[in-house]
Amino acid sequence: MVALLTALSKYFFSWLVMCSSLLLALMAENIYILLFPGSIKSDKGHIHALTAHFRAFVRSMNMKTTLPDSACELTSVYFPGLALAAIMPIFASIPLSTLVPILDNGGDMVQILLFGILSEAFALIAVFSLGTHGSWITGRRMVKECISFMLPLMACFASIAAFLSVLDTTQGDSFSLNAFAHPAFTGSLHWYGIIGIAVFIFVIFSRIPHSAEGQGSVLFESGELPEYQGAQRVVLQIWSILRAFTIIALVSHIFFPWGYFKSLNAGFSISWWAQAINFFAFWFFVVLVRVFAVTLCWKGMSSLENYFRRVPGFIIVSLLTLAAMALIICEIIKISMEVSAF
Amino acid sequence: MIFHLETGYFIWNFLGWAGIFLFSALLFCFFIYINVNKNCIIRVKGDEGTFIEFNGSGSGFENKVFLFRTKCLAPWFEKHFCHILTVAVLFLLFLTALFSSFGVE
Hey, is the C-beta of B20 within 8 angstroms of any chain A C-beta? yes
pLDDT at A262 over 50: yes
Please compute the mean of the pLDDT values over residues A269-294 and round it to a whole number: 81
**Angle formed at CA A41 by CA A35 and CA A45, multiple of 5 degrees:** 80
**Is residue A67 classed as helix, strand or coil in its secondary structure?**
strand
pLDDT value of position A43 = 46
Nearest to A84 among B11, B28, B44 (CB): B28
| Mean pLDDT taken over chain A | 81
- Given a cut of 90, whether residue A86 has pLDDT beyond it is yes
Asked whether residue A178 carries a pLDDT value surpassing 80, the answer given is: no
Provide the 3-class DSSP secondary structure of residue A175: coil
Closest by Cβ to A173, choosing from B9, B13, B43: B9
User: How many Å apart are CA A241 and CA A156, to the nearest integer?
Assistant: 22
How many angstroms separate the CA atoms of A94 and A113, rounded? 14
Q: Which residue of A has its CA nearest to B37?
A: A65
- Residue A123 in this model has a pLDDT that exceeds 90: yes
> Is the predicted pLDDT of residue A248 greater than 80, yes or no?
yes
Could you give the ipTM of this predicted complex? 0.84
The pLDDT value given to residue B103: 47
Can you give the pLDDT at residue A122? 93
Mean pLDDT of A137-157: 89
Closest alpha carbon to A283 in A102, A35, A156, A95: A95
Answer whether B28 touches A (CB < 8 Å).
Answer: yes
B58 touches chain A (CB under 8 A): no
Whether the predicted pLDDT of B52 surpasses 60: no
- Mark A286-312 as b/e (b = at least 16 C-beta within 10 Å): bbebbbebbbebbeebeebeeeeeeee
Instruction: Give residue-wise pLDDT tens across range A306-333.
Output: 888 888 888 888 899 999 999 988 888 8
DSSP string, A197-264: HHHHHHHHHHTS---TTS-TT-SSPTTSSTT-BSHHHHHHHHHHHHHHHHHHHHHHHHHS-HHHHHHH
Q: Nearest CB to A81: which of B9, B13, B32?
A: B32
pTM above 0.90, yes or no: no
Q: Are strands B4-6 and B11-13 parallel, antiparallel or unpaired?
A: antiparallel
pLDDT band at A272 (very low <50, low <70, confident <90, very high): low
Q: What is the pLDDT of residue A25?
A: 84
How large is the angle between the packed helices A133-167 and A191-206, nearest 10 degrees? 160
User: How confident is the model at residue B80, as a pLDDT?
Assistant: 67
Question: B28 or B40, which is more confident?
Answer: B28
Residue B104: what pLDDT?
47
Report how far residue A250's alpha carbon sits from residue A277's, in angstroms, rounded to the nearest whole number. 19
Euclidean distance between CA atoms B73 and A213, whole angstroms = 38
Is the CB of A70 less than 8 angstroms away from the CB of B49? yes
CB A233 within 8 A of CB A219: no
pLDDT over threshold 50, residue B49: no
Distance CA A31, CA A40 (A): 12
SS3 A66: strand
CB contact under 8 A, B47 and A71: no
